[in-house]
Structure 1
Amino acid sequence: MAKTILFGGLTPLHELFMKGAVESLGYRAEFLPTPSNHSFAVGREFCNRGMCNPTYYTVGNLIKYLQEKRAEGIDVENEYSFVTIGACGPCRFGMYETEYRHALKLAGFKNLSVSILNQSELSSEGDLELTPSLVWRLVKAVWVADIVRDLGYQLRPYEVLSGSVDKVISEMKEEIYKVLKKGGRVKDIIFVLKLLRKKLEELQFDYSRVKPVVSVIGEFWAHTTEGDGNYNLHRWLEESGAEVKVESIAGWIDYQLFMEEEKAKLEIRAKGLSLSRAKKLLFIRAMAVTFRNLYNLFRRIFSFRPRPLPSQKYLVELAKPYFDHLVVGGEGHLEVAKHIYNVKEKKAHMTVSVKPFGCMPSTQSDGAQAKVLSDYPESIFISIETSGDGEVNVKSRVQMKLFEAKKAAQKEFDELLSSLRLTKSTVKKILETESFRKPFLKLSKDYIGTTARLLKANEKVFLSSALQFRELGA
């Protein structure tokens, strides 16, 4: 009997859609629950000392799950096979495979099959074969999850009926999962995403709420997970009055492909051009272009409201004075680049860089951030470490910066009102009309806050409506 593939470590949305992609090829698959502080404690018990907390959370989460299944009488070593990502380099992420095997042995699961997917070489070891078909299906699943997740974080802060956006996404995610499980043809994905848009368009939104946009960047797992591993930072920021700008997994894959292209070009410069090296370079470029086009195809369904993937070349240029992009490990130059990008391109009022305690690549980035802040004094930036405890202290520090971001967002909006000679009360009345209660409205790129972007993009309509209000004596 084929074993059930276990995997985990991303958001529940990503994992559900990836489950469908894997199942479409005939595998049985289950994703692990979101790691909890209990998972962290189990990981600390069985892992080596000095690991970063993503290791403790993810390894502990697997062992905790297996222990629970064994308590139910399941022969887990014959029933399950675990799949994880492999890597190398200075980051401790390169040691995860060894740490999984070591901890599983200590916990009494030494015969559990562990499959490794090598993220840079697109190769695999173990029960799950990383075929081109599987890669393509996983890419579609991850891209859709990125799009839906981003929409949720952009729309929830403005929903009139609390919980309405989550309700629609919860209903539609099962439909998307079914499409992906059937093979995930692009035209079928487009069809179900259009259904999602239609359901979101039935909801109402109040854009008179001026909210700061807060970008969460940092170490990959720490800024991606939505649980105890980063103190539930995304939802907490949202509950505290922010609109959260989340990072996409597609952006990380885009970065990996860019770095593979850079390495291929370096090899050509060092060893000369050959047919095999030229083919490799062209293949990487073709893959990157295909993946980006697919991402933009899905964005188009929602009037390009989901955020675009930034140019990797541009990110390199932004980071160049502070961080060499060939210094790899962890997020490499991206933490510095994303911070500058948020400020220079008006993408966020505030940037939170979250990382595990003692994360070496992130520590390097933090050193460079001091110079970035000197050159961009208008930036509202905070770097935080997560360690499985210390939640109150971390959130207290973030709240102080969030207060600054709220003031910056309000100032941005007030200055725009003043330049257009509009009053808050008039704008609020206009935003309460049916035409401005919709989810997918035109937004300007000249401002950061959603309310300011909406006002600027539709200023002629606002000015005309304001004039009508004055004429009617409203």
Structure 2
Amino acid sequence: MAKKTILFGGLTPTHELLMKGAVESVGYRAEFLPTPDNVSLAIGREFCNRGMCNPAYYTIGNLIKFLKQKAAEGVDVEKEYTFTTIGACGPCRFGMYESEYRHAVREAGFKNLSISILNQSKLSSEGEVELTPTLVWRLIKAVWTADIVRDIGYQLRPYEVEKGSVDKVISEYLQELYAAMKKGGKVKEILSILVKLRKSLNSLRFDYTRVKPVVSVIGEFWAHTTEGDGNYRIHRWLEEEGAEVKPEPIAGWIDYQLFMQEKKLLLEIKAKGLSYQRIKRFIAVKTASSLLRWLYNLLRGALSFRPRALPPQKYLAELAKDYYDPLVVGGEGYLEVAKHIYSVKEKKAHMVLSVKPFGCMPSTQSDGAQSKVLLDYPESIFISVETSGDGEVNVKSRIQMKLFEAKKAAEKEFEEVLEKLKLTREAFVRAFSSPELQKPFIKLSGKFAGTAARALYANFQKAYSLLPEREAEGTV
């Protein structure tokens, strides 16, 4: 077991806190890096080679900034820390990250810093951190839980009556979840804490008369996941601009990786025939995929299934196949195109925002396909933006123009629901001022993107019953 403290980072603070607990549960000491900022970007550009993408500059610069700060405090960082990151290969600069980390920390004066690599495709490790089945399972539980908690936060915050109340409750239970992960992350204990979180959220009030556009944030993995300067803090900014944000769960990426392993094994069996080893690997991948989806739904159930379900990868691949070959890998593969179509076809969002680093090759390929998607789905409100660390005003100005369209679309959708149910806007507002319809986990239904529309459609009978007779008369 390594005596050094494991440094890691690159996801959201919620994910990193729970992952820290998972890593500590197997005997390591762990510390996650702060969210990368534009100072990190500048440091990354100083010490990295030219031609790297923003995630490399931000995350590598963030590491060097942290090491320099600790060294200035008198810490012998080369003896105290080992940095752990994900490694991979493929037609993307991500495959060069390992060598770039090693090069940059040497250039910054930390030539003896230990770096451990976790290979995402082979589930193997190099360095002082051993990627055991126990650690992998505990990390999965941590990431899945963080996905669930993050999603419920983004769904509820736009409708909270008392600003900041949702974040306050969630932050309290995140500490409990961290403690649970540190003890091994027993599923029963995680579920118990999530149930307590649900009960605490249930004491808050929510105003579902706010008609807000739902914006799905997709794109390159790091760019659409981070919640800092690397994507101009786009998720919280969209909330401030009046949107409900639909973030992508990291579980969806793991689900995609397992699906691709399944596809590759089927191709191998078709080309080389059946064998014991191939059948064994195929069963293992299918079992892992089913188990992880079962766990995700189990955790969703603790929060009344309000966090969104993972869409079936087979369906996503089917949606994308006419625009992007599902067997073409690198970056997000077919996911960007599939998520866009899925959001429009299944009415999961009013607007799709694709965020990617400047010059990201796989995302650029996806953008080429998106032009055909827009021809076939003219009702789509879609915008693709590149982040470069500067140009924030220009990017946000472009997004605001599309967001205006999305707000109009959300209003139009809601008015159509009112008309269908023969209910006036005033009667809707009056009915939903009742405490019974201001709960966080009220029923939502109907093939509508907007939360207000889904809340009304699912609860209109109750809404009628809560209206004074003179208002409800003639509405059904």
TM-score by length of 2: 0.98
Matched-pair contact (CA < 8 Å) for 1:296–1:308: yes
Shift of 1:134: 0.3
Cα shift at 1:464 = 3.5
- Equivalent residue, structure 1, for 2:211: 210
1:263 match? 264
Aligned pairs (5 A) from 1:88-237: 88-237=89-238
Correspondence 1:297 to 2:298: yes
SS at structure 1 position matched to 2:418: helix
* Counterpart residue type for residue 468 of structure 1: E
Structure 2 letter corresponding to 1:47: C
Query: Which residue does 1:65 correspond to in 2?
Result: 66
Contact kept in structure 1, 2:464 and 2:472, CA below 8 Å: no
Give the SS at the match of 1:444.
Answer: coil
Q: CA deviation at 1:79?
A: 0.3
Amino acid at match of 2:3: A
Aligned equivalent of 2:279: 278
Shift of residue 265, structure 1, vs aligned partner: 1.1
Which letter maps to 2:70?
K
Pairwise CA RMSD: 1.1
Instruction: State the distance in 1 between where 2:130 and 2:280 align.
Output: 23
Aligned to 1:20: 21
By how many angstroms is 1:469 displaced? 4.9
Alpha carbons of structure 1 residues 425 and 278: separation in structure 2 relative to 1, 3 Å = same
After TM superposition, the structure 1 = structure 2 runs for residues 433-444 of structure 1, keeping only pairs within 5 Å, are 433-444=434-445
- Cα displacement (A) at 1:415: 1.1
Superposed CA deviations along residues 414-457 of structure 1, whole A, max 9, x for unmatched, are 11111111111111011110101100011014111000001111
Q: Report matched runs for 1:385-396 at 5 Å.
A: 385-396=386-397
Distance 2:473 2:396 in 1: 48
Taking the aligned partners of 2:247 and 2:176, their CA distance within structure 1 comes to 23
Q: Tell me by how many angstroms 1:458 deviates.
A: 1.5
CA deviations on 1:304-362 (whole Å, 9 max, x unpaired) are 10000000000000001000011100000100000000000000000000000000000
**What runs of 5+ residues in structure 2 fail to find an aligned partner?**
none
Could you tell me the percent identity over the aligned residues? Answer: 71
- 2:427–2:471 CA contact under 8 A, matched in 1: no
1:423, 1:472 → 2: CA distance?
12
Does 2:255 match 1:254? yes
CA displacement, residues 127-157 of structure 1 (integer Å, 9 cap, x when unaligned): 1111100000000000000000000000000
TM-score normalised per structure 1: 0.99
Say yes or no: does 1:451 pair with 2:452. Answer: yes
Question: What secondary structure does 2:211 align onto?
Answer: coil
CA contact (8 A) 2:160 2:205 kept: yes
Match of 1:33 in 2: 34
Is residue 422–residue 466 contact of structure 1 (8 Å, CA) maintained in 2? no
CA distance, structure 1, for counterparts of residue 469 and residue 391 of structure 2:
54
C-alpha deviation, 1:459, in angstroms: 2.2
Q: Name segments (4+ residues, structure 1) moved above 6 Å.
A: none
Q: Which residue pairs with 2:370 in the alignment?
A: 369
Specify the alignment match of 1:335 in structure 2: 336
Per-residue CA deviation, residues 263-320 of structure 1 (Å, 9 max, x unaligned), is: 1111111111100110000001100100000000000111110000000000000001
Distance in 1 (CA, whole Å) between partners of 2:337 and 2:193 is 37
Report how far residue 26 of structure 1 moved: 0.8
CA contact (8 A) 2:431 2:464 kept: no
Find the counterpart in structure 2 of residue 56 from structure 1.
57
Deviations 1:244-269 (A, max 9, x none): 00000000000011111111111111
Measure the CA separation in 2 of the matches of 1:61 and 1:445: 44
Gaps of 5+ in 1: none
What SS does the aligned partner of 2:368 have? Answer: helix
Residue in 2 that maps onto 1:322: 323
Shift of 1:467: 6.2
For 1:204, the aligned partner's letter is: R
CA, structure 1 residues 461+53, in 2 after alignment: closer, same or farther (shift >3 Å)? same
SS of corresponding position for 2:264: helix
Separation of aligned partners in 2, 1:21 and 1:452: 39
CA distance in 2, matches of 1:445, 1:60: 46
- How big is each residue's C-alpha offset from its partner over 1:371-422, in whole Å with a ceiling of 9 and x where there is no partner? 0000000000000000000000000000000000000000000111111111
Partner of 1:354, secondary structure, is: strand
Q: Which residue identity is paired with 2:404?
A: F
Deviation at 1:472, TM superposition (A): 9.6
Q: Are the aligned partners of 2:432 and 2:463 in contact in 1 as well (CA < 8 Å)? A: no
- Displacement of 1:62: 0.3
Q: CA deviation at 1:53?
A: 0.3
Distance 2:286 2:15 in 1: 25
CA distance in 1, matches of 2:105, 2:27: 27
Q: Report the residue type matching 1:107 in the other structure.
A: A
1:211 match: secondary structure: coil
1:217 and 1:421 map into 2 onto residues whose CA distance is 36
